[in-house]
Chain A
Amino acid sequence: MSGTPKVAYVRSDMLPEAPPPPGQAGPIKWLRENLFAGWFNSAMTILAIYVVWSVLSGTLPWVFNGIWDAGSLTECREIRNARGLDSAACWAVVNERWLQMLFGFYPTDDPLLARLFYADELAAAGGAEMVFGGGFNATQQVAFISAMKDEISNAAIFFFGYWRPLLALALLVPAIAPVLYSNLPRSLLIFSLIYPFVAFFLLWGGSVWLPTLVALGLLATIMAGRYAAAFVGSLGGFFVSLIVFLAIFMNPLGVVGIDGLFPLLPQLNGELTDAIPLGLPFIASQNFGGFMLAIIIGTSGIVLSLPLGIALALGRQSSMPLIKWVCVSFIEVIRGVPLIVWLFTASTLLNYFLPPGTEFDLLLRVIIMVTLFASAYLAEVVRGGLAALPKGQYEAADSLGLDYWKSMRLIILPQALKISIPGIVNTFIGLFKDTTLVVFIGLRDPLGLTNAIRATSEWNGIYWELYIFVGALFFMFCFFMSRYSMYLERRLRTDHR
């Protein structure tokens, strides 16, 4: 061949696509690359398989040989020995006490249960009016109810005895769906706005007029502001709605010593309740407990802390020093102190700061504290998202003539929140699990109830089964949140990087 390299070259035909050589694609390639690449990798694979097998071979028989039907831990052990098993879970405790784990000491709707499932005995005892309407004394009533509950299955008690919290939970789904999934009609959001009042009425009961009037009062506040804003400008509209709000919910004349005229709400409530007494039996917050408590505190905390967290994050970025300073100190103080300290503050110290005689529901105080705590964390997560946006996005929004609020709402926040989704959901999951801390201030959360169950002579000494049940319940909810966040991230991925 000649020594001079050939420079000129022209391809006459383009090469067709060809399949990869054998063993370079498909499951064999995957196995070789991921499990058996080199001797060290292969050894680790075998070791890992051994570890997984030994863990599962230890636990799975315990789980699946579990005993479901027993009245006490001793009975469980007898059954286990009779079957000749080394170890077996005693799921009987869950089988017997799952209603309590879910609802704590929230009362069942006994008259309804009696009418539906215990009608003959109810008639024999003299009818509902006799048993529940004052004819029976307390001892007779308790005896009747416990006899009834022994008769009726747990499933029936679950669906009909606890219909109020169940209905509230079921309605949470349509209330939250239009918020979570944007392809649903926007008009469903109206129900999302009404839902908090419906849920309050179902869970706490009392007169139907109180939540209705609070909702109408808030509506009146907003509408008055909007209507007035058309005539006197947005600042004037704000003051009009403030005055309407004060007249309905507070006593603005109290400072000058005129009482009894305002607020309008309790007066209207009293008159309407007298005229049309509609409602459900009132249930005090002390009776709330179990997993229901975790859901109530968790959901309210999540819903309330997101807007507050966003506001704090924007405030921290504000160019106005006072707003910035207030937000920074709020975030640092709330975040720098453990949640349990704030909960103790809520349960004991807060009373010192409130006017004497103020009845302030403990559950409400806890929800406020959990919300403030989570919002401080959220503010920092959202601030991270805001900081991650290129400066050009702010400039482009500015250069189109969008004012601060419009550019935040339309340009900056949609992108910043999208970036922050993993962090936000992380905070939400943390908040939801932190609700178990309320056990320390005397609320009966699921973990607190495990102690109560262990305190009975039947189940003294049972730990694993109860904790696994509580863990599984929490895992279910947290796993849903995690999956939803991944769905959201996928759906909002429009940058095509």
Chain B
Amino acid sequence: MAQADTDIAGTTRIAANVSDEVAIEIHNMNKWYGTFHVLRDIDLTVQRGERIVIAGPSGSGKSTLIRCINALEEHQKGKITVDGTVLSSDLKNVDRIRSEVGMVFQHFNLFPHLTILENCTLAPIWVRKIPKREAEEIAMHFLTKVKIPEQALKYPGQLSGGQQQRVAIARSLCMRPRIMLFDEPTSALDPEMIKEVLDTMVSLAEDGMTMLCVTHEMGFARQVANRVIFMDQGQIVEQNEPEEFFNNPKSERTKLFLSQILGH
């Protein structure tokens, strides 16, 4: 179980429960869109149980980086190993990795023609081959965890943005992933709804989930992350523990970025 301590800023930090096991290893990875070099020489090792926040200006390649991890985007050079499996163009590998890695999108991407419950049970039933009744039990467990079990029979269109994003998190969790990727999960939400989604993510962190989050929520980064990565122009510019990162940034680019997003 994670213990809590208090850092200088006064927020309650969740202590990491990092193991020696490697969850994701990215080695010298490069990606191009046509001739545009989006990701340059990315090296990143994520231990199991680690919580990493990736920050940076728009267009810096942070979303592309995490989309490469579950092969939504193809990389052209270098090597990505997820959960011991090397990402290649082999479809079997890709589907296997995708079923082990949960992903939460900026625009939720729930399936509008299915109820909340069906959204959550679809992949367990068709990919994991779990019996329907059991899949529904798992789904209700995670819907309770994200605090919306009473919405199970509604359609996504009937829910608020914050509720939809929590359903999206539950939908990913129903596949019992070992790693969760978050691609700006709160950017499309009203301020009032951001908190409910962040609370869900914090409780996920407390359970020891390996998490990679692209987000601009610096409060969340301070509270949850055990590493913050700053990216610019397709490269990792700086990475550090959150306390050091926010209080004592080394690079000029990081300083400028932090002054802009924390300045008001």
Contacts and interface: CB of A to CB of B under 8 A. Distances in A.
Interface of A: 390, 392-393, 395-403, 406, 410-411, 414-415, 418, 492, 494-497
A399 B72 contact: yes
Interface in B92-119: 95-96, 98-99, 101-103, 105, 107, 109-113
Interface of B: 70, 72, 91, 95-96, 98-99, 101-103, 105, 107, 109-113, 122-123, 126-127, 155, 157-158, 171-172, 175
Of all A-B residue pairs in the complex, the 10 with the closest CB atoms, nearest first, are A401-B99, A496-B157, A396-B109, A392-B109, A400-B123, A399-B103, A401-B98, A494-B155, A495-B157, A495-B112
9 contacts: A395-B72, A399-B72, A399-B98, A399-B103, A401-B96, A406-B126, A411-B122, A494-B113, A494-B155
B105 A395 contact: yes
A496 B123 CA distance: 24
B111 to A, nearest CB: 6
Contact of A401 (B95, B155, B157): B95
Given A400-B98, A415-B113, A494-B113, 14 more contacts: A392-B107, A393-B109, A395-B72, A395-B105, A396-B110, A398-B98, A399-B70, A399-B103, A400-B122, A400-B123, A402-B123, A411-B122, A495-B112, A496-B157
A401 B174 CA distance: 12
A390 B95 CA distance: 21
A495 B99 contact: no
Contacts of B175: 400-401
A299 B102 CA distance: 45
Contact of A396 (B95, B101, B105, B157): B105
A492 B155 CA distance: 12
Nearest to A414: B113
A184 B105 CA distance: 37
Contacts of A397: 111
A396 B107 CA distance: 10
Contacts of A398: 72, 98
Contacts of B103: 399
A496 B72 contact: no
B159 to A, nearest CB: 9
A398 B67 CA distance: 11
Given A396-B109, A400-B127, A402-B127, A497 B157 contact: yes
B50 to A, nearest CB: 21
Q: Which of A390, A414, A494 has the most CB of B within 10 A?
A: A494
Contacts of B99: 400-401
Contacts of A497: 157
Nearest to A494: B155
B109 to A, nearest CB: 4
Contact of A495 (B126, B155, B171): B155
A411 B91 contact: no
A397 to B, nearest CB: 8
Nearest to A409: B126
A496 B160 CA distance: 12
Given A395-B105, A399-B70, A497-B157, A415 B112 contact: yes
Contacts of A400: 98-99, 122-123, 127, 171-172, 175
B25 to A, nearest CB: 20
A406 B91 CA distance: 14
A197 B48 CA distance: 60
Among B99, B123, B155, chain A packs the most CB atoms within 10 A around the CB of B123
B172 to A, nearest CB: 8
Given A400-B175, A494-B113, A410 B126 contact: yes
A390 B103 CA distance: 17
A387 to B, nearest CB: 17
A494 B111 CA distance: 10
B110 to A, nearest CB: 7
A264 B253 CA distance: 79
Nearest to A391: B109
B152 to A, nearest CB: 15
B111 A393 contact: yes
